Chain A
Amino acid sequence: MPRSLSRLDADLFADYRRLSGVADELFDAEGRMRPVWQRFVHRFARLSPDEIASRFERGNHYLRDAGVYFRQYSADPLAERDWPLAPIPVILHEGEWQTICAGLAQRADLLEQVVSDLYGPGRLVADGHLPAELIAASGQWLRPMVGIAPKGGHFLHYLAFEIGRSPDGSWLVLGDRLQAPSGAGFALENRMATGRIFPERFPRAHIHRLAGFFQDFRAALAGLSVDGGAAILTPGPSNDTYYEHTYIARYLGLPLLEGEDLLVENGAAKVRTIEGPQPLGVLWRRIDAQFADPLELNADSRIGTPGLVEAVRQGRLAMVNALGTGVLEMRAMMAFLPRIAQVLTGQPLALPNIATWWCGGEAERRYVQQNAARMLIGPALSPDLPFDADGASPGLPADWSEEAGARFVGQEAVALSTTPAWVTEDGQPLSLGRVEPRPMTVRVFAARTPSGWRFMPGGYARIGKAGDATALAMQKGGSVADVWIVSDRPVPNLSLRPAAGNAFRRASPGVVPSRAADNLFWLGRYVERTEDAIRLIRAYHTRLATTDNPADPLLRRMEAFLPGHGIDPGQPMPDALLARIGAARACAGKVRDRFSVDGWAALVDLHRTAEETLRAIRPGDDAARGMSVLLRKITGFSGLVQDNMYRFQGWRFLTLGRALERADALATLLIALAGPDAPEGSLDLAVEVADSTITHRRRYAVETSRESVVDLLALDGDNPRSILFQLRVMRDQAATLPGAMENGRLAPLSRALVPIEALVSVLAPAQVTEARLRRLRRDLARMSDLLTDAYLR
């Protein structure tokens, strides 16, 4: 055992052995601990198992509280998994890192040259450096993009490279990611979490910060979008890395859009907002190119925008990265890049890629066939890394044939380096873990800036679950570690300082995409409908529990009108209630980037409680108590929205939705329970459902009468549970929406609201007849239509 290690707590590293035939991050080829790790290991090894466990827990806590998740593709498309952080970072010295980045900068420039040739003159194919058959077969070589020069002059702006260390200690490129590379946002979260785990000033002061990279990228995006805004285009909430899209959007202050949010008019891309179409100059797309435009690309796409290719063709929209750059990701490309580098630059690749042979060529096919045992052979067109999901396996595949050669590549089966990982047996507490070597790859992010390629210093490594590299994929239980690029000296601490001068303009918080406003409006409506239903159901079961008369007229009355709300009184947890909660959650899920993590968590908790914990409640007391639980949870959500949500335009739509729905529910309640034929006790019930029992006692100091109840629930402008109060909320919100005044006149929505509010404010209780209430409900439905027409299309 090396001397430097023998001084440490032997238990922690007792199992740590450099595996034969592979490089290791902790130990060099001579078995000496690499200097860059020493101080970290020294500190780490001094911690007791319990301290280690509680630190790791702290990291996981942070991630859970921050709501970091990814989606595991499975039967349930919305199943979320906690972010699988590997707590021990990978540590690299800045000198080694600079060498890596220099090699990758050369590669990035080369890739730019290749892709601009493939969409331009086509010399590489004509000269035989790339096979025409291979390019034509790629689903990512997008024919409609041929001949279109990208706005700003470059195809590639934001790349990721997957690299690994080979047994001789040198680095290899395993894959190029330029379609829509993910991970940079997760890297930020990795860094936040490891900061909780290892808070010591040393080594923290020596670790290169990530923020500067994002600053430069943000400025570069702004530079591309001089004639319009910048935004992020996401495939939507069912994507596996949607969390990251929302996170990055918030971090960079960019709107997060879906295809439906965009339209193309006169060759320019615009965002549909509640203030009308707004110009857009650059899109950082997180969707695969072929789905971007159903008209000119994949006709089956449901997440694209018709005409987007037209906006690109007109030079009005820059795409990061250009549509069609995904062609470079296919594995077979690696077979040709070394030679292309020589041809185009006269230089070899400074950082070689994994040795690859495309089996469409006869000589290559023969070579792969003869050396199949030490190759990973898999689909030529796939962008996956050699050992990833659909990946290749050693030896000739079952469907191998001479004619089908063009479908395959062989790639040298490289044994990746190992790095220390904290390993516990299934079900074991963290404190019983051990440090063991696990294979790893590092993802390196690069952004084009006016002064050249800028690299994110570390942040993201994938760690294999088991000893061999086939288990690297997160989908197969792999995990992700922070990567520290460590300097010999303390590094300057630049957190996200305000961008200087004209480098960046924050998108106005007032610009809300119509789709987001629509979802917020309906979220407000569903939340209010849910609360209304909970109160009604609770009132019913409370009554059920306190009467032994099954013919109780008030019960009969409720059983008659609950079905009008879609509620089956025979179900203690009615399907209709679950459906409303589900609808609210679905709306919220589509605008998660506009919520606090806590607000979302409250809604998820409500849903889960209703679906699971309270699914089997019994009629009577049990159901009434269950409803009280739900009520507390939903008012918790409402409180968060009311207290914490920024008063941007989107909030107004949420508020309008709630007010409209509450006014409508009150009108419905009064129709059912305050009519002349209502059975005894109805008025008390109405006051109870409207949560106004105490107020009624205070205000009227008498028993309920029709007049007092109508006055309180319809006409009292100080009672938040009155129709008038809610109409005033609507009137006030409508007055602050964009375009509320048109040429000095009220816009249609306000014009319709003002007289209704005025009328209700002068009514006497006796004038609030059933007919008037019904008319009011029709008016409210019309408000919803007016709002939708004006803002939400």
Chain B
Amino acid sequence: MIYDIALAIDYGYAARSDRSRTLMRLLPPDLPGAQTVLSRRLHIDPAPDERRDWLDFFGNATTSAVWHTPLNALRISVDLGVERLAPPPLTDLSPALADLPAALAAVRDLGARSPHHFRRPSARVAQVDAIETFARALAGPRDTVIETVQSLGHALHAEMQFDAAATSVETGPAQAFAQRRGVCQDFAHVMIAGLRALGVPAGYVSGFLRTEPPPGQPRLEGADAMHAWVSAWTGPATGWMAFDPTNDQWAGLDYVVVAQGRDYLDVAPVLGSLRSAGGQVSRHSVDMIPRAD
């Protein structure tokens, strides 16, 4: 399936912001066997005085932009053509939850996809007792890791309600879980906290979700903006598997990955430092349309 994706983000600054520096993680990577990027373009207006592109530690395409003069407004737009390949049928070759520590101990690797990065609390996903208790109640030691991922994602989807007004980008998983409400970022953070508490390495994926569903299927939550879901390491045979707790399903043909990391902060689409006294407003919109062939 080939998608055309268009993203636009607009910022307006109440006070002119002096010497802004921004990091963007908006360009999807090629993922062998999962997705191929056919075309990608990142346009920044006004054009920055400095721009650099590199791959960060986790392999995400990162762009830094610097303006030497003050900004009133900023528009970032991305146009993409991405082919998403059908995932192989799910075969559960993952170890039992109780056997995962031994599997992890055998991994002598600190590369971008090493599960070791994703085991501990991270900047935006603290250890949360309530989530740990919830997760433990669901998981049996002889359940496979894949079963565990699926049952936790399913349970969270049932437990929590999608509510765009309940949280902000700063909300942590403890609060989102306490109020049982939030958006895709909150669902993902809560699930990551739960998986890590069970000893399952878990990370955060940002990306796009098909805007209009295939005929006869319901529209998915989170398709109007950039989406987020969870990636879990399920053992040496099956590796990383992606689950979307907001929509209670494995992230398959409808999903395009942009960036992966330990939590939101590692993949934040736009991270800025603006020396500005005033507030800022932003809008953002996404369209992801299957290409007619």
Picked from A126, A265, A295, A793, the residue with its CB within 8 Å of the CB of B108 is A126
CB closest residue in chain B, given A143: B57
The A-B contact count (CB < 8 A) is: 68
Given contacts A122-B110, A263-B19, contact A136 B273 (CB under 8 A): no
In the bound complex, do residue B123 and residue A132 qualify as a contact, i.e. CB atoms below 8 Å apart? no
**Complex interface: stretch among B75-83, B112-120, B155-163, B174-182:** B112-120
In the bound complex, do residue A295 and residue B116 qualify as a contact, i.e. CB atoms below 8 Å apart? no
Closest approach, in angstroms, between the C-beta of A137 and any C-beta of chain B?
5
Judge whether A45 is part of the interface by a CB distance below 8 angstroms: no
Residues of A within 8 A of B52 (CB): 267, 310
A266 CA to B109 CA, complexed, in Å: 34
In the bound complex, do residue A307 and residue B21 qualify as a contact, i.e. CB atoms below 8 Å apart? yes
Given contacts A146-B57, A307-B21, contact A299 B123 (CB under 8 A): yes
In the bound complex, do residue B68 and residue A265 qualify as a contact, i.e. CB atoms below 8 Å apart? yes
Given contacts A143-B57, A266-B50, A295-B271, contact A133 B21 (CB under 8 A): no
In the bound complex, do residue B23 and residue A136 qualify as a contact, i.e. CB atoms below 8 Å apart? no
Residues of A within 8 A of B18 (CB): 793
In the bound complex, do residue A135 and residue B110 qualify as a contact, i.e. CB atoms below 8 Å apart? yes
A126 CA to B106 CA, complexed, in Å: 11
Report the contact-size class of chain B (Cβ under 8 Å from the partner). 20 to 34
In the bound complex, do residue A132 and residue B64 qualify as a contact, i.e. CB atoms below 8 Å apart? no
A296 CA to B273 CA, complexed, in Å: 11
A135 CA to B111 CA, complexed, in Å: 12
Residue of A132, A263, A264, A266 contacting most chain B CB atoms (<10 Å): A132
In the bound complex, do residue B110 and residue A137 qualify as a contact, i.e. CB atoms below 8 Å apart? no
Closest approach, in angstroms, between the C-beta of B62 and any C-beta of chain A?
9
Given contacts A136-B116, A137-B120, A310-B52, contact A296 B23 (CB under 8 A): yes
Please provide the chain B residues from 52 to 101 with a CB less than 8 Å away from any CB of chain A in the complex.
Answer: 52, 54, 56-58, 64, 66, 68, 101
Residues of A within 8 A of B23 (CB): 295-296
In the bound complex, do residue A307 and residue B66 qualify as a contact, i.e. CB atoms below 8 Å apart? yes
Judge whether B104 is part of the interface by a CB distance below 8 angstroms: yes
A125 CA to B106 CA, complexed, in Å: 11
In the bound complex, do residue B108 and residue A125 qualify as a contact, i.e. CB atoms below 8 Å apart? yes
Given contacts A144-B56, A306-B21, contact A136 B265 (CB under 8 A): no
Given contacts A136-B117, A310-B64, contact A125 B21 (CB under 8 A): no
In the bound complex, do residue B19 and residue A136 qualify as a contact, i.e. CB atoms below 8 Å apart? no
Closest approach, in angstroms, between the C-beta of B46 and any C-beta of chain A?
17
Please provide the chain B residues from 126 to 146 with a CB less than 8 Å away from any CB of chain A in the complex.
Answer: none
Closest approach, in angstroms, between the C-beta of B102 and any C-beta of chain A?
10
Judge whether B47 is part of the interface by a CB distance below 8 angstroms: no
A298 CA to B271 CA, complexed, in Å: 12
Residues of B within 8 A of A793 (CB): 18
Residues of A within 8 A of B109 (CB): 125-126, 132
Residues of B within 8 A of A296 (CB): 23
Please provide the chain B residues from 1 to 47 with a CB less than 8 Å away from any CB of chain A in the complex.
Answer: 18-19, 21, 23
Judge whether B281 is part of the interface by a CB distance below 8 angstroms: no
A144 CA to B117 CA, complexed, in Å: 13
A136 CA to B233 CA, complexed, in Å: 15
CB closest residue in chain B, given A141: B110
A127 CA to B110 CA, complexed, in Å: 12
Residues of A within 8 A of B64 (CB): 307, 310
Closest approach, in angstroms, between the C-beta of B177 and any C-beta of chain A?
21
In the bound complex, do residue A264 and residue B21 qualify as a contact, i.e. CB atoms below 8 Å apart? yes
Please provide the chain A residues from 251 to 300 with a CB less than 8 Å away from any CB of chain B in the complex.
Answer: 263-267, 294-296, 298-300
Q: Is the interface of B mostly helix, strand, loop or mixed?
A: mixed
Judge whether B292 is part of the interface by a CB distance below 8 angstroms: no
Picked from B19, B56, B57, B273, the residue with its CB within 8 Å of the CB of A294 is B273
Judge whether B105 is part of the interface by a CB distance below 8 angstroms: yes
CB closest residue in chain A, given B117: A136
Residues of A within 8 A of B58 (CB): 143
A470 CA to B143 CA, complexed, in Å: 47
In the bound complex, do residue A132 and residue B116 qualify as a contact, i.e. CB atoms below 8 Å apart? yes
Given contacts A125-B110, A307-B66, contact A133 B50 (CB under 8 A): no
Please provide the chain A residues from 392 to 437 with a CB less than 8 Å away from any CB of chain B in the complex.
Answer: 403
Judge whether A346 is part of the interface by a CB distance below 8 angstroms: no
In the bound complex, do residue B57 and residue A144 qualify as a contact, i.e. CB atoms below 8 Å apart? yes
The 0/1 profile, CB within 8 Å of B marked 1, for residues 157-198 of chain A is 000000000000000000000000000000000000000000
Residues of B within 8 A of A452 (CB): none
Closest approach, in angstroms, between the C-beta of A176 and any C-beta of chain B?
21
In the bound complex, do residue A133 and residue B123 qualify as a contact, i.e. CB atoms below 8 Å apart? no
Residues of A within 8 A of B265 (CB): 299
Judge whether B107 is part of the interface by a CB distance below 8 angstroms: yes
The 0/1 profile, CB within 8 Å of B marked 1, for residues 105-140 of chain A is 000000000000000001001111000110111000
The 0/1 profile, CB within 8 Å of B marked 1, for residues 439-469 of chain A is 0000000000000000000000000000000
Picked from B21, B101, B107, B120, the residue with its CB within 8 Å of the CB of A132 is B107
In the bound complex, do residue A136 and residue B119 qualify as a contact, i.e. CB atoms below 8 Å apart? yes
A137 CA to B111 CA, complexed, in Å: 14
Closest approach, in angstroms, between the C-beta of A288 and any C-beta of chain B?
15
A310 CA to B110 CA, complexed, in Å: 22
A635 CA to B57 CA, complexed, in Å: 58
In the bound complex, do residue B56 and residue A133 qualify as a contact, i.e. CB atoms below 8 Å apart? no
A185 CA to B23 CA, complexed, in Å: 38
Residue of A298, A306, A310, A793 contacting most chain B CB atoms (<10 Å): A306
Residues of A within 8 A of B101 (CB): 403
A299 CA to B272 CA, complexed, in Å: 10
The 0/1 profile, CB within 8 Å of A marked 1, for residues 182-218 of chain B is 0000000000000000010000000000000000000
Residues of B within 8 A of A300 (CB): 123
In the bound complex, do residue B271 and residue A133 qualify as a contact, i.e. CB atoms below 8 Å apart? no
Residues of A within 8 A of B105 (CB): 133
In the bound complex, do residue A132 and residue B110 qualify as a contact, i.e. CB atoms below 8 Å apart? yes
Residues of B within 8 A of A126 (CB): 108-109
Residues of B within 8 A of A310 (CB): 52, 64
Residues of A within 8 A of B273 (CB): 294-295, 306-307
Residues of B within 8 A of A146 (CB): 57
Residues of A within 8 A of B107 (CB): 132
Residues of A within 8 A of B68 (CB): 265
Residues of A within 8 A of B114 (CB): 132, 136
In the bound complex, do residue B57 and residue A128 qualify as a contact, i.e. CB atoms below 8 Å apart? no
In the bound complex, do residue A132 and residue B108 qualify as a contact, i.e. CB atoms below 8 Å apart? yes
Known pairs A135-B110, A264-B66. 18 more at Cβ < 8 A? A125-B108, A133-B104, A133-B116, A136-B110, A136-B119, A143-B57, A143-B58, A144-B56, A144-B57, A265-B66, A265-B68, A266-B50, A295-B21, A299-B265, A300-B123, A306-B21, A403-B101, A793-B18
**Interface residues of A, Cβ cutoff 8 Å to B:** 122, 125-128, 132-133, 135-137, 143-144, 146, 263-267, 294-296, 298-300, 306-307, 310, 313, 403, 793
**Interface residues of B, Cβ cutoff 8 Å to A:** 18-19, 21, 23, 50, 52, 54, 56-58, 64, 66, 68, 101, 104-105, 107-111, 114, 116-117, 119-120, 123, 199, 265, 271, 273
Q: Offer 6 A-B interface pairs, CB within 8 angstroms, sorted by A.
A: A127-B108, A128-B108, A132-B116, A143-B58, A295-B23, A307-B273
Pairs A-B, 10 closest by C-beta atoms: A136-B116, A306-B273, A143-B57, A306-B21, A132-B116, A136-B117, A133-B116, A137-B120, A307-B21, A132-B110
